[in-house]
């Protein structure tokens, strides 16, 4: 449990610190005074001033923060030219978006690392058997995992769609599959006679096999970062779309009076992190990528206290042609933060109840993911 807690805190800290580093670097580049860069959340237990910025270690050992001079109000501003509120809309937008961009980039890097180490998927014309159901026609006929199906009767098979179409044509009839298998480095061809079922069990096809035309390719080492970046970007976009779709579903549920089912708070994320960590380091890195993209999308939502909420005020400023009173914006962000904290506490309480009733992390996750 202690290891799981440390891993969870490490993952959460990495996500938040990368986000805050984005704000930090862009703010410094724009000439904004960064008063403090904190590791963990206050109260502060140690701090050292380097240049004009205090780098602090805080008592709550997760996450982090960046304190910008004049971040949400002009009250207490001693250096007007270096205050965030007095910078141009372009600069403020860049600073606010920097955290989101950094989280998205972290997602790409995480996915890219996984692809670089575990191989690159590529499409082939080899219809390969990757699973055989117990007691199925495929098992009875002698198909084994790793077999490549070349023909069904006399028809060449080069795609999963063609395989399924041909098998469906011969439901209830004997068919002969020409398959290739690799034995001790030698390719062997054999014929397998099977009888596709007309009414297979739920979750199984007529033959009871799982097939794919995707194989794992290991390019030269020097090429892997480029392949990893390409596929990592595709994965980041995919998960971004998935998160956006999930958010819309949550609002749809709320509009119909239903409680959202797919929300997870700190306890739920801790449980997921613990289970993923059991699988291995690559699975954990991949999960970090998913969480980082998730954090990027959530932060861009136009809700007060989030980066997207602050962006909303910049947009309103452009539309109205004048600045919104800083104290009004600060009050809106304070209310937004209170609402977010209440929501987090409510979700956490629900997750704790679920964890206690399930009796274990795995049981809790089964209930959440069902």
- Give the strand pairing for 209-217 and 120-132: antiparallel
- Can you tell me the distance from the alpha carbon of 18 to that of 99, in angstroms, rounded to the nearest whole number? 7
Question: Catalytic site residue 35?
Answer: no
* Residue 58 zone, left/alpha/beta (φ > 0; ψ -120 to 50; rest): beta
The CA distance from 310 to 305, in Å, is: 7
Tell me which H or E stretch contains 348: helix 326-358
Which of the following is catalytic: 20, 36, 71, 166?
Answer: 20
Instruction: Give the catalytic positions in this structure.
Output: 20
């Amino acid at each position: 449990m202690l290891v799981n807690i440390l891993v969870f805190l490490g993952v959460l800290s990495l996500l938040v610190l990368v986000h805050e580093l984005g704000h930090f670097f862009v703010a410094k580049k724009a000439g904004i005074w960064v008063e403090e860069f904190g590791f963990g959340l206050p109260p502060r237990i140690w701090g050292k001033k380097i240049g004009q910025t205090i780098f602090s270690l805080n008592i709550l050992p997760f996450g982090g923060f960046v304190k910008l001079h004049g971040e949400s109000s002009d009250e207490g501003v001693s250096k007007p030219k270096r205050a965030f509120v007095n910078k141009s809309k372009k600069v403020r937008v860049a600073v606010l978006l920097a955290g989101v961009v950094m989280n998205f980039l972290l997602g790409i890097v995480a996915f890219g690392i996984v692809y670089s180490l575990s191989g690159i998927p590529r499409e082939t014309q080899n219809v390969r058997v990757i699973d055989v159901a117990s007691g199925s026609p495929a098992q009875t006929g002698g198909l084994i995992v790793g077999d490549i199906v070349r023909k069904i009767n006399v028809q060449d098979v080069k795609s999963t769609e063609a395989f399924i179409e041909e098998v469906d044509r011969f439901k209830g009839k004997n068919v002969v599959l020409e398959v290739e298998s690799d034995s001790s480095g030698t390719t062997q061809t054999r014929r397998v006679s099977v009888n596709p079922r007309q009414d297979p069990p739920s979750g199984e096809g007529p033959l009871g096999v799982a097939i794919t035309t995707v194989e794992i390719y290991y390019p030269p080492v020097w090429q892997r970062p480029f392949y990893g970046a390409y596929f990592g970007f595709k994965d980041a976009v995919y998960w971004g779309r998935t998160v956006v779709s999930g958010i819309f579903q949550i609002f749809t549920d709320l509009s119909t009076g239903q409680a959202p089912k797919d929300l997870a708070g700190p306890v739920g994320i801790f449980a997921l992190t613990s289970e993923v960590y059991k699988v291995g380091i690559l699975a954990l890195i991949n999960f970090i990528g998913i969480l980082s993209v998730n954090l990027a999308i959530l932060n861009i939502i136009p809700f007060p206290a989030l980066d997207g909420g602050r962006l909303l005020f910049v947009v309103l400023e452009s539309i109205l042609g004048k600045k919104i009173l800083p104290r009004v914006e600060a009050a809106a962000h304070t209310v937004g933060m209170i609402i977010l904290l209440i929501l987090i506490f409510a979700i956490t309480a629900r997750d704790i109840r679920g964890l206690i009733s399930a009796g274990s992390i795995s049981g809790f996750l089964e209930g959440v993911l069902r």
